[in-house]
Amino acid sequence: MWIRIVIAAVAGAVAGALLGRFTKCSTGGCPITGSPLGLALLGAVLGAVIATAFSNSRPAKPTVVQDKEIAMPQRTGLVTMKGNPVVLVGNEVQSGQMAPDFVAIDNDLKEVRLSSFRGKVVVLSAVPSLDTAVCSLETRRFNQEAAGLGDDVAILTISMDLPFAQKRWCGAEGIHAVKTLSDHRDAAFGMAYGVLIKDLRLLARAVFVVDRSGRVTYVQLVKEIATEPDYEAVLKAAREAVGK
């Protein structure tokens, strides 16, 4: 940007000097500046101003993540947020298919892959933000239910919250049985599971159960994001996956 501004300023100065040379400004009678040098300086300032305005008006280039989001499928008419329809970005995941692998960030800023839990049943709980009442209730409920599911089940709560915010929330709420992961960096989970909300860049409320072999055995996309999921259905699906 600065290179463009300097070039425009120089060009403006040259144009101003030439204009002064061929007009009455060359005799010192310029009604604006009174001298050719003044007109050259005025041209430089105007050139710099125009270059700055042009640079600021240019839209920012999309990031790599934004490019991926734009290229992803979009689905409508599936969920609402406080009654307002939202558009979901990403691939639809159905029961019976292999669970897409993804990378998210844990509370210690380390990358975590779904595939690292292979051999366990995994409950993937997607929520918009832990700092909202419903998401807080849901995550605390799964934290309580984790003991009854046993060590063969891993419960991962995924949101767009920053890892620092997730760590603070877990500490304040005494969450130990549920592992919270941040999808903020790449939205990799949101796009892979089709729960990324367009424009808002939050995750829709959804729960997926993945068996020991990495196959999806249960999908619950909550129709109204502001409501809690059907816990009993999720717990039943998790127990059935453990018993396989």
135 tagged catalytic: yes
Backbone dihedral region of 205: left (phi > 0), alpha (psi from -120 to 50 degrees) or beta?
beta
What gap in Å lies between CA 229 and CA 219, rounded to an integer? 11
Distances (CA, A) of 27 to 13, 15, 34, 162, 186: 18, 17, 9, 65, 63
Starting at the edge strand that comes first in sequence, how are the strands of the sheet with 206-210 ordered?
111-113, 103-105, 178-182, 153-159, 121-126, 206-210, 216-221
Element holding 178 (H helix, E strand): strand 178-182
User: What's at 178, amino acid-wise?
Assistant: V
Catalytic residue among 25, 30, 135, 170: 135
What gap in Å lies between CA 197 and CA 222, rounded to an integer? 13
The catalytic residues are 135
